[in-house]
Amino acid sequence: MRAWDVVWKARRLVERNIMVYRHQWIVILSGVAEPIFYLVGIGMGLGGLVQTVKLSDGRVISYTAYVAPALLATAAMNGAVFETIFNVFFKLNFAKTYDGILATPMGIGEIAIGEMLWALMRATLYAVSMLVLMVVLGLILSPWAILALPVTLFVAATFAATGLAGTAFLRTVQDFDIPMGLIVMPMFLFSGTFFPVSAYPTPIQLFMQATPLFHSISLIRGLTTGVVGGQQAVDFAYLLGFFSLMMVIAMRRMERKLIK
């Protein structure tokens, strides 16, 4: 089946999710405020003490301009992960939504792509809101930032695939503590979000550099600050490989869960 045919069928699942959320948009819109609160509370609050950060090319920028692209990346991550973990788990294990969908011409591939597209729509809302705020506050420091939105959506797609893959391994509601408490939160705190990697001990630096959020932040921060070079190429290659691996795992695990 051609890729376009899969996407065309997958749109039906997106339409279904839109219908479900048509009276609950406040749930999605609430996610827009989270990175803004962090930007005001930490970026501007702590920025009053830290004030400036030195980039790898020797330039000095404000702490707020340093933190903002990291919060853009984490907003994309949160939008994708929350959608593909909590909601997909409920549909997969309780509502049995996908069992009914499989009775239609849609298959496992269309379900995975449909949920990922829906997660991307949610992440797009968060990313655009954050980018507009960054422009208004003068936190965009380079013309390369024109690529920030598509790159942020690529980051969201990577985490959406990761969420789908991880959700297929969860067995009970208590298992949510594993992805959220042991993976997402440590990544948020230890991926160069608020401080340069060099500020941490070497073991923590190695942990940071192994996470997809670190590479997401490095890539987006490079675009918005104008530090574009070999590191950003490595970041993109890492995310591309990680996305491909997670999609393969997601497809296989969902097939095992749904086709018995």
Amino acid making up residue 204: I
Please give the DSSP secondary-structure letter assigned to residue 199: G
**pTM over 0.75, yes/no:** yes
State pLDDT tens for residues 240-260: 999 999 999 988 888 888 776
Amino acid making up residue 231: Q
CA angle 26/32/37 to nearest 5° reads: 120
Q: Using CB atoms within 10 A of its CB, is residue 16 exposed (0-12), middle (13-18) or buried (19+)?
A: middle
State pLDDT tens for residues 112-164: 889 999 988 888 888 889 999 999 999 999 999 999 999 999 999 999 999 99
Question: What is the band of 1 on the pLDDT scale with cuts at 50, 70, 90?
Answer: low
pLDDT of residue 152: 94
Stated as kind and residue range, the H or E segment containing 77 is helix 63-82
Give the tokens for residue 83.
Answer: 């959608």
The answer, yes or no, to whether residue 28 has pLDDT greater than 80, is: no
Where is mean pLDDT largest: 46-55, 96-105, 177-186, 231-240? 231-240
State pLDDT tens for residues 58-102: 899 999 999 999 999 999 998 888 888 888 888 888 888 888 888
Q: Which 3 state secondary structure label does DSSP give 238? A: helix
Q: For residues 53 and 66, what is the distance between their CA atoms, to the nearest angstrom?
A: 7
Q: Mean pLDDT check: name the lowest of 27-36, 198-207, 211-220.
A: 27-36
Q: What is the CA radius of gyration of the chain?
A: 19
Q: Mean pLDDT check: name the lowest of 9-23, 27-41, 52-66, 202-216.
A: 27-41
Amino acid making up residue 243: F
Q: Using CB atoms within 10 A of its CB, is residue 255 exposed (0-12), middle (13-18) or buried (19+)?
A: middle
Q: Using CB atoms within 10 A of its CB, is residue 37 exposed (0-12), middle (13-18) or buried (19+)?
A: exposed
Q: What is the mean pLDDT of the chain?
A: 88
